Every structure is written in structure tokens, then in C-alpha cells.
Amino acid sequence: MPVKTFGLLVLALASAAPPPAAGKAPAAGTYAPESVAALPNFHKRSEWDPKWKETVYDAPLGNPTRITVHHTEEKQPLERKAIITELQRLLRIHTSKDPKIDGRGWSDIGYHFLIDAKGQIWEGRPIYAQGSHVAGQNENNIGISLMGNFDLEHTEYNKEIPLTKPTAAQLEALAALLNRLGGAYGIPLDRQHVFGHRDLDAKKTCPGQRLYDQLDAVCQAASRKAAAMASRIDTRPAENIQERLRLISTGSPF
């Protein structure tokens, strides 16, 4: 497969192989592409969900051709224990049928990857399985969700959840993850292939205005950035993210 190299960045120019099929996970214990699993801030499913085992999914993902970005519209914890607790809580909500907790009744957590406030990337639903993150639009669609509630004002659903901003570390990790997924599956890193949830469902505010406003810059950085970009741990708010992403994508220090 022909590739083009920009410093440390390798971008696939042709369509890559589809995700692995269901079955025994590779030796690394993850279904994520090797390039994603190699990121220093990547955590495989067993690190937060040690009881996870293969399940029956509604449909295979197929060959990914697009990526949709979400916010969890929930808490934005900082400490590892609280992050894992929140991931497990999201899993219960997504898989439960209990209306008291707004249970969705899905077969697994809806997203393929989640990113916490420190920029740690957590594996969710295995990449071979179709997600549950955009109604009627899950085919060939990788779901990524950033932990937090990034709306400008409360909605009926999230009125008790604090309004937050995506941290610089989250946005940098998102750009790194997009970069690796784009290379692995031949997905162009532009806004015709990387969507906010609301782009595919006009009734939604997801991924929140504060994240949605950064997607152009994140896509631009993802298409240019050096491979080690996401190794930084930084929880500062992202007021200057445009400049930070520009510096990172050109390899300049900040």
C-alpha cells in the first residue's frame, strides 16, 4: 500500500484493510489497530472493564469510511479511579433497560473509543462491531466520545451535569486518534468524513458547541501532526487550542 511520510507521520493513501472479525483478540489483548494501541496514552478494554467478554453484536462495522465525534454529556473526571468508575457507569447506562437510569438496552457501550480529560484514550466497543452512537448511521462509522458536557447551556437531559470545556489534552488526543484511524483505514481527515453527531442528526446538540467549534482545527492538526503528539498530559482548558494545535502540527514546542 503506498504511503506518504511527513516526519514521524505516516498517512495511508489507499484504503486499508478492514477491522478484524469477531473472535479471539490479538496477542496484545485489543482489537484496536496496532498504530492506535501503540499510542502511549491508549488503554485497552480490560483495563477498565476486566469482566468484559465477547458478546453478540447486532452487525459488523464493515470497512470504516467515516468517524463521528461525541461528548458523553456526563461528568469529566480527572483521577484514574473516578475515570474508570465513570466508564463503568456509562456501560451500565448503555446496556441496561432500566428507565430509571435512562437505560438504552444496547449490547455494549455505544462508542468505540472514549477520551478523558487527561487525554487518555480508552477502548470501548471492539472495532469490528458496529457501534450504537448515531441512530440509523452506525454502518462503517467509528464512534469517539470525549468525556464531559460541552454544551453552552443545559438541556433537559443534562441539567444536573456541570457544563465544561474539552481540555487541550482531550483535543490533542482526539487529533492523535483521528490520525491513527485515518492511516489504518484510509479515512480522509476532513469534515466530509469526520463528523460531529449533530451533523448526522439535526435534533442533537452533541458533541456540544464547545467541542463542535474545534473540530475543523482538530482535523487539520490530525492530518499534519507528529505521531507522538498525544503523549502529553495536560488538563488546562483549551482557550488557545487553535494556536496549540498549529504549533503541535508543525512540530514546534509550546
Each residue's pLDDT tens digit, 155-199: 877 778 899 999 999 999 999 999 999 999 999 999 999 999 999
pLDDT digits (tens, 9 = 90+) for 97-122: 877 777 677 889 999 999 999 999 99
In total, how many domains does the chain have?
1
- CATH (domain of 84): 3.40.80.10
* Residue-averaged pLDDT of the chain: 82
In a domain, 33, yes or no: no
For residue 41, is it within any domain? no
Residue with cell 504549533: 247
pLDDT of residue 214: 97
Average pLDDT over residues 208-228: 85
Cell of 237: 482548558
Judge whether 201 lies within some domain: yes
Give the pLDDT confidence score for residue 194 in this predicted structure.
98
Q: Which residue has the higher pLDDT, 253 or 144?
A: 144
Q: Quick check: is 180 in a domain?
A: yes
Residues in the chain: 254
Structural domain contains residue 136: yes
| pLDDT tens digits along 15-56 | 455 666 555 555 567 899 999 999 999 999 999 999 887 777
Mean local confidence (pLDDT), 208-227: 87
E strands within 45-198? 66-71, 113-115, 121-123, 141-146, 194-196
Which residue range(s) make up the domain with 79? Answer: 60-249
Is residue 165 assigned to a domain? yes
Q: 473509543: which residue's cell?
A: 113
Residue 46, domain member (yes or no):
no
Domain assignment present for residue 23? The answer is no
**Which are the contacts of 75, defined by CB distance < 8 A and separation ≥ 6?**
82, 86, 147, 148, 149, 161, 162
Mean pLDDT confidence for 130-139: 94
